[in-house]
Structure 1
Amino acid sequence: MTNFQKLSETEMEVMQIIWASDHPITSGELLDIFAQQKGKEWKGQTMATFLARLVEKGVLTSIKQGRANIYRPRMSLEEYRSQEAKSLLETLYEGSVKNFLATLYDGKEMAKDEMTELRRWFAEKAGEKNG
């Protein structure tokens, strides 16, 4: 996992809107959406800064169209979540899912149905690798 950079809370908020959009989006459209839906009256330069960071982090692409830039996601929300989870595992748990789960559940009771569901999930994943 090289060069993965976690998004800030505000960057994630911007990306959530972009991911939810069914078309490429402009900075102006994003400013309107934030003003109308979130009550945030940002200046154009503020939005431009967030968009530039998102392009730099590799989650967004920018294409010049006339005087405006058009933005498209470079990865899906699912791809981002997967990279973020892998980065977390590698950084904090030495890549070990077992260490991660142990941290979550050490000293806590896990519901029997939750444990059964996890066993079933791991068995299915093992079957996929062996099959």
Structure 2
Amino acid sequence: MDLIWKAERSVTMREIMDQLPEASEWKHNTTITFLSRLINKGFLTSTRVGKAHHYEACITEREYQDLETKQFIKEIYKGSVYGFVSALCDNGDLTKEEIESLMKRLEE
């Protein structure tokens, strides 16, 4: 998805394969399977132009992050945003600046 979001246009399978990191061991069929799953989930569309399939995002990166965050909170914290934020505060991962920023956001 990152490759497609960064392109800001439809991309072909060849473009996707060319942009995968060299360390990636993904083969052509593995990539097709993964893209098919993203299409089935409604994250991508595929249009055939000539012999090539062109893949385009149906969801923005921000929309995807929101969706995944909600799913994470639902599954891990039983839907409790308070439980999630409490865990962030309790483990000391938040900086003073981040806490102040969150406080301002909550006041809005």
Q: Corresponding residue for 1:33?
A: 19
Give unmatched runs, 5+ long, in structure 1: 1-14, 125-131
> Does 1:60 pair with 2:53?
no
Q: Is the 8 A contact 1:31 1:41 kept in 2?
A: no
Q: Is the 8 A contact 1:55 1:62 kept in 2?
A: yes
Q: Is the 8 A contact 1:26 1:69 kept in 2?
A: yes
In the alignment, the residues of structure 2 paired with residue 109 and residue 28 of structure 1 have an alpha-carbon distance, to the nearest angstrom, of 40
CA RMSD of aligned residues (A): 2.1
In the alignment, the residues of structure 2 paired with residue 70 and residue 110 of structure 1 have an alpha-carbon distance, to the nearest angstrom, of 41
Identity of counterpart residues, as a percentage? 36
Q: State how 1:14-93 maps to structure 2 within 5 Å.
A: 15-34=1-20, 38-39=21-22, 40=24, 42-93=26-77
Residue 69 of structure 1 aligns to a residue in which SS?
strand
When the two structures are superposed, what TM-score results if normalisation uses the length of structure 1?
A: 0.70
Rg comparison, structure with higher value: 1
Q: Residue 48 of structure 1: CA displacement?
A: 1.2
In the alignment, the residues of structure 1 paired with residue 37 and residue 93 of structure 2 have an alpha-carbon distance, to the nearest angstrom, of 42
Give unmatched runs, 5+ long, in structure 2: none
Deviations 1:103-130 (A, max 9, x none): 2222649654443322211001xxxxxx
When the two structures are superposed, what TM-score results if normalisation uses the length of structure 2?
A: 0.84
Q: Residue 42 of structure 1: CA displacement?
A: 4.3
Q: Corresponding residue for 1:9?
A: none
In the alignment, the residues of structure 2 paired with residue 63 and residue 47 of structure 1 have an alpha-carbon distance, to the nearest angstrom, of 16
Q: Corresponding residue for 1:117?
A: 101
Residue 79 of structure 2 aligns to a residue in which SS?
coil
